[in-house]
Each structure stands twice: as C-alpha cells, then as structure tokens.
Amino acid sequence: MVFGATSIICGLLWDISWHKTIGRDTFWTPAHLAIHLGGIVAGLTGAILILKTTFAGTAEERGTSVRIWGFRGPYGAWLAIWGAFAMITSAPFDDWWHNAYGLDVKILSPPHTILALGIFGVISGAVLLVLARQNRGESEDVWPARMFVYLSGIGIALLATTVAEYTDPNDQHGAMFYFITAGIFPLTLFQLGRAARVKWPMTKIALAYMLVFQVMNWILPLFHASPKLAPIYIPVTHMVPMPFPLLLIVPAFACDLVIRAMRERNDWLLAIPLAVVFMIVLALVQWPFSRFLLSDFADNIIFSGDHWPYFARPGSWMRDYWSLDTDHLTLRSAFIAVALAYVSTRIGLWRGKWMKQVVR
C-alpha cells in the first residue's frame, strides 16, 4: 500500500510536469503508468487482504475486520479497492476527453476529478491500514507510526496538488489563497496530527509533504525534454517542475507548540488559538516568501522559480500578483479566513479523535 501511494503521487507530479514540458502526446506515458500502477497495486493488495481474512483469517484478524457482502477485511482495504476501481474507470474517460478536447485547461477536468477521488480513496485506505496497526499496538515496532506520518505527508501533497491552481506564488497576496488554505489544511493537518503517535506530529507530516514535493521538483529538471504540441512560447529543454511547496512546516510547528501548552483544553477552546496561530504564522512566512519566489533569485533548481509551462506567453504577469484589484486581502477577508480556519480546525480535531480509535 505504501508503494502504491508513493507511485501515485510521484506519477501525478511527473504527469503535471509532462503536460507543462511536452504536452499530451499519448495516454501511455510513463507518468500515467506510474499513477495507475500505484492504484492497481493498492487495489490488488486490498483484495488479497480481504480474501485472506475471509477464507483463511485468524479469529483475531476476523475480529479486527469489516464485513461487506459476506466478505471480511480491514476498512482500509475496502477503501483502497474502491479507489483503485475509480482510478481505472477514469483512464478511458480521460483518454476520450483529451482526444475530444485536447489539453486540459484546468487540473480538475471531469475525468481528472474521478481520478482524484480514486487517488484519495487509495491513499486514505493505505493511511487507515497503517493507522489501525499503529492503534492496535501489536508490537513495539515504530514503523507503523513512521509510515503513518509518511503517508499523511503524501495525503497533504495530493491535497496541495488538487488546489495548486489557486496557490501559485502569484496568488499568495490574494484573499482566495487564504480562504482555500484556511478551509483545507488545518482540517487535514490537525486530523492527522492528533492521530499520529510521534513527537511533533504536525511538523513531521508537513516536512514529509515538503520532501515529497521537493524531491520530485529536484529530480525532474535533471531530465532533458522538449515540447511536442504547439503553440510553443517558451522553448523548455528539461522537465518543468511544480512551484515550490507551501511553507506549512512553520505554522505546523507553531501549532505543535500550542497543543503542547494547552493539551488539557476543551477542543472548542483549543481550536481558537490553533486557528489564529496557523493563519497568522502562515501569512507571516508565505507573504514575504512569495515575493522571493517571484524574483530572479528563485530561478534555480532549489526554489523552482522557473516553473512556467511551454505554452505560457512570457510577460510581466509572471512576476506580478494576480487579481489584486478584485481579490486583495482586507481586514474583513482576514477575519473570514480565520473563521474558516476555526471551523476547519474544529472538524480536524474531532476527526483526529475518531482516528485514534480506529483498529479495524
């Protein structure tokens, strides 16, 4: 399951780079194969676990399983199978979509939405399988907890990729950027962080997310490639990376400190400082860092400043913040973002408490 999740996220980032560098030449690209290989491996693993538990499982294994349609297996295995099925279903749909309409204008086209839901299912299934083993405490083995942190980082990376069109460095002075980050990242980080049985859980999960993103960003430009689909406005000569990942590790560390200081507080009260600290620290680091990413100093393999696709018309807009005339951050929109972060945080804490009890 861990291999499948890794293959999916690497293939996904590779596929986006392929579209930005080469164009959409065929469905059978290595990136597509890596994505669907991960789904197939995870789905088959889930099926094997269910068949083994149903027909040859021990009493303990059957006792820590879920029964569906007469079959028994871990909840994560069922979720992974569903996710793999959705991923495979999206493949011919995506091929037809490209043949009919050409390149995707958005990341979340209809077939990509089905694919994204399937990927979320596979990765969530892998997370729940490792989580159940961690929570059962079957041994002193620390690897389930470490794998949970790693898979959680992959989950954050997938979430960040899904909303990447709204979190470019050029968007990071606008209100919409803070609305989106407030609505999704506190929920996910606090949910996974509360369930993880490691020290500084949210910091380590955010670090895993950044490493997954940046390892791919550092590897891809090492390979030569050129566009095959007109119009070509930027004659790229290597695989184009994604923009530098969000600095979630800084607010995650700050929130770990808050939880350490207020461990015994009621969740309704705990969510207030967590939401406020998360948004303030994120703004303090991301606001100036985005200006750096838009400068010439970031045009290197370390910070992936040169991440523009071959079909983008070069211009001053590449160094500007977008939509500030209609989407600028005001005191009112900042309060709305904090309110969204509070709701997101409270749901994340509640979900994290549930995840700590998962044993099936």
Evaluate whether residue 150 is within a structural domain: no
Is residue 122 domain-shared with residue 254, that is, in the same domain? no
Instruction: Kindly state the helix (H) or strand (E) to which residue 139 belongs, with its residue range.
Output: none
Q: Which tokens in the block code for residue 227? A: 């566009």
Is residue 4 domain-shared with residue 116, that is, in the same domain? yes
Is residue 172 domain-shared with residue 210, that is, in the same domain? yes
Q: What is the pLDDT of residue 106?
A: 62
Is residue 179 domain-shared with residue 216, that is, in the same domain? yes
Evaluate whether residue 56 is within a structural domain: yes
Evaluate whether residue 158 is within a structural domain: no
Rounded Cα distance between 291 and 295, Å, is 6
Is residue 198 domain-shared with residue 295, that is, in the same domain? yes
Is residue 18 domain-shared with residue 123, that is, in the same domain? yes
Q: What is the pLDDT of residue 323?
A: 83
Whether 308 contacts 294, CB under 8 Å: no
Distances from the Cα of 251 to the Cα of 75, 144, 165, 283, 309, angstroms: 32, 25, 22, 9, 30
Is residue 127 domain-shared with residue 251, that is, in the same domain? no
Would you call 163 helix, strand, or coil by DSSP? coil
Instruction: Kindly state the helix (H) or strand (E) to which residue 35 belongs, with its residue range.
Output: helix 30-56
Evaluate whether residue 117 is within a structural domain: yes
Is residue 53 domain-shared with residue 189, that is, in the same domain? no
Is residue 110 domain-shared with residue 223, that is, in the same domain? no
Rounded Cα distance between 318 and 293, Å, is 11
Rounded Cα distance between 49 and 76, Å, is 10
pLDDT tens string for the chain (360 positions)? 899 999 999 999 999 999 899 987 677 889 989 999 999 999 999 999 999 888 887 777 777 777 888 788 888 888 899 999 898 888 788 777 777 776 655 666 777 788 888 998 999 999 988 888 888 876 566 888 899 999 999 999 999 998 998 999 999 999 999 999 999 999 999 999 999 989 999 999 999 999 999 999 999 999 999 998 888 999 999 999 999 999 999 999 999 999 998 876 788 999 999 999 999 999 999 999 999 999 999 999 899 888 899 999 999 999 999 988 888 888 899 999 999 999 999 999 999 998 888 777
Before 231, cis peptide (omega within 30)?
Answer: yes
Is residue 223 domain-shared with residue 302, that is, in the same domain? yes
Evaluate whether residue 253 is within a structural domain: yes
Boundaries of domain holding 311 = 166-360
The amino acid at 41? V
For 156, other C-beta atoms within 10 Å of its C-beta total 26
Whether 190 contacts 349, CB under 8 Å: yes
Split into its structural domains, the chain has a count of 2
Is residue 348 domain-shared with residue 236, that is, in the same domain? yes
Evaluate whether residue 159 is within a structural domain: no
Whether 310 contacts 236, CB under 8 Å: yes
Q: How far is CA 26 from the centre of its chain?
A: 25
Evaluate whether residue 75 is within a structural domain: yes
Evaluate whether residue 147 is within a structural domain: no
Is residue 116 domain-shared with residue 252, that is, in the same domain? no
In Å, the largest CA–CA distance within the chain is: 66
